[in-house]
Homo-oligomer: A and B are copies of this chain.
Amino acid sequence: MSNRRVGLWLIGACGGVGTTATLGLAALSRGLTDTTSLVTALPLFNGIDLDGPADFVVGGHEIRQAGFRATAAELHQRSNVFDENLLAGCQEPLAAWEANVRTGTLLGAGPTIAKLADRPDANKAKTARQAIEQIKADLVAFKETNKLSQVVVANVSSTEPPFETSEVHQSLAKLNAALDGSPLPASSLYAYATLDLGLPFVNFTPSLGATCPALEELAVLRHTTVCGKDGKTGETLMKTVLAPMFAHRNWRILSWVGHNIFGNRDGIVLDDPINKSSKIKTKDQVISGVVGYKPQTLVSIEYIESLDDWKTAWNHIHFKGFLGTKMIMQVIWQGCDSLLAGPLVLDLARLSLFAQRRGEVGVLKHLACFFKNPHGVTV
C-alpha cells in the first residue's frame, strides 16, 4: 500500500462488472479474499509501485436505480457467486461508495440502453457539450471531496450500437467545433470529459470510447492515457491462446464456430441485434488475425435467462491435418462474466494510474493483451 489516495470512477458503475470490481477492492483491502485472478498480483509485478486495494475510493455514473449492495446481492442470489460472509464484511465500504454514484447521460447511448434507465434525476443534456460539462463536474467533485491525487475512469457499461466515425472525429479542432450538436456516442462523451480533465481512460467495452484521432489528440494534449477496447475475459482469450497452436503446427483451420449463451443484463442489451453486432465484430476477427487466412467463422451470442451471469461457450474447431485428414477440437467454457471481467478492470486501473505517474501519454499499447480489439495495435 502506498500513501496515495486514488479514485476509480466506473461508467455503468452498478452493473455486474463494476460491482464485482468494487466488491473486490473492498474485500482485498479488508483481507477477506486473496489476489487470485489479479494479473497485477503476479510475481512479475513485484517491485512496481502500483496502488494497493486500500488506496482506492470508488465512484461512478449509472443510469439505473441500482447500488453496489443490491447488485452484489442479486449476483449472489441469482448466479450463486460471492460467499455470504465476504458480502457481509464489505457492506460498509459498498454503502459509502454508493453515495459517490451520479446519474449518467443517455445522450448517444441508443434506445435499448435508454430503456433500462430509471433514475429520477435523469441527465438532461441535449448537446455533447452539456453532457461533457456535467460529467466533468461530477468527476471534479469526486476528486476534490475525496482528496484524491489521481482518478482513473473505466467504462464498464453495456455495449452501444455501432458508431461510424467521420471527418469530424479526425481532429480535436473539428470535434470541438461540433460539440453543440450530438457528434459522439455516450461512451465518447465520457471519454472526452475524462481526458479533458487529464485523467486516464480505460474502455473495457466494444463501444467507441476514445478510439478516434480527435480523442487521442486530446489525451496527449492533457498528458493522460487511454487504453481499450473490449476486455478479453473468457472465450476470446481462449481463442487467442489456441489459434497460434494451429498456426505453429501448420494445421489448417477449416471452420471455427463459437456459440455463447448467457443471461445477465449485458445479455438483454446484446439481444438487440444492433448492439450485438458491435460485440460479434470484435469477437470474430481474432482468428484470421492470428492464422493469416480467413477460415469460415461463426460467432453467436444469445440471451438465455436461466444462466444469469454464467457465460457458457461451445467452440467447435474443425481443422485439416496431414494427408488431408480432418480432425476436431471442441472447447466448452463455463465462466462467470463479472468475475472474469472485474479483476481485469482493477488491473487496468492500476496500470493506467502507474503509467500516468511515470509520464506516459496517449494510447497504452503495451496493454493490448487485455483487449479483444486493442486500441492502437493492428492484429
Query: Is there an interface contact between A241 and B241, defined as CB atoms closer than 8 Å?
Result: yes
Q: What is the predominant secondary structure among interface residues of chain A facing chain B?
A: mixed
- Interface set, chain A 143-197, CB cutoff 8 A to B: none
Of A82, A84, A325, chain B has the most CB atoms within 10 Å of the CB of A325
Q: Inside 8 A of A367's CB, which chain B residues have their CB?
A: none
Q: With A259-B259, A340-B321 as given contacts, are A36 and B252 in contact (CB-CB < 8 Å)?
A: yes
From residue A270, how far is it (CB to closest CB) to chain B in Å?
14
From 34 to 52 in chain A, residues with beta carbon under 8 angstroms from any chain B beta carbon are: 34-39, 41-42
Contact flag A329-B331 (CB < 8 Å), given A41-B250, A312-B316, A318-B307: yes
Question: B-facing mask of A55-84, CB < 8 A → 1, else 0?
Answer: 000000000000000000000010011111
Question: For the complex, is A223 an interface residue (Cβ under 8 Å from B)?
Answer: no
Whether A237 is near chain B, meaning CB under 8 Å from some CB there, is yes
Q: Is the CB of A241 within 8 A of B245?
A: yes
Would you give the 0/1 interface string for A237-260, flagging 1 where the beta carbon is closer than 8 Å to chain B? Answer: 110011011001111101101010
Q: At the interface with chain B, which of A19-27, A206-214, A281-289?
A: A19-27
Task: Assess the A36–B324 pair: CB atoms within 8 A.
Answer: yes
Q: How far is the CA of A314 from the CA of B300 in the complex (A)?
A: 13
Q: Given A255-B307, A296-B304, are A339 and B325 also a contact pair (CB < 8 Å)?
A: yes
Given A84-B84, A305-B296, A332-B329, also A33-B250 (CB < 8 A): no
B306 touches A326 (CB 8 A): yes
| A245 neighbours in B (Cβ, 8 Å) | 237-238, 241
Please name all residues of chain B whose beta carbon is closer than 8 Å to the beta carbon of A261 when the two chains form the complex. 257, 298, 316
**Cα distance A273–B298 when bound, in Å?**
16
Point out which of A42, A238, A321 has the most chain B C-beta atoms below 10 A from its C-beta.
A321
B331 touches A255 (CB 8 A): no
Instruction: List the 4 closest pairs (A to B, CB-CB), nearest first.
Output: A254-B306, A37-B322, A330-B332, A328-B334
What are 12 A-B contacts with C-beta separation under 8 Å?
Answer: A27-B323, A36-B321, A37-B322, A39-B248, A237-B249, A242-B242, A261-B316, A300-B302, A321-B340, A327-B339, A327-B340, A329-B334
Instruction: Give the interface of A toward B (CB within 8 A).
Output: 20, 23-24, 27, 33-39, 41-42, 77, 80-84, 86, 237-238, 241-242, 244-245, 248-252, 254-255, 257, 259, 261, 296, 298, 300, 302, 304-307, 312, 314, 316, 318, 320-336, 339-340, 342-343
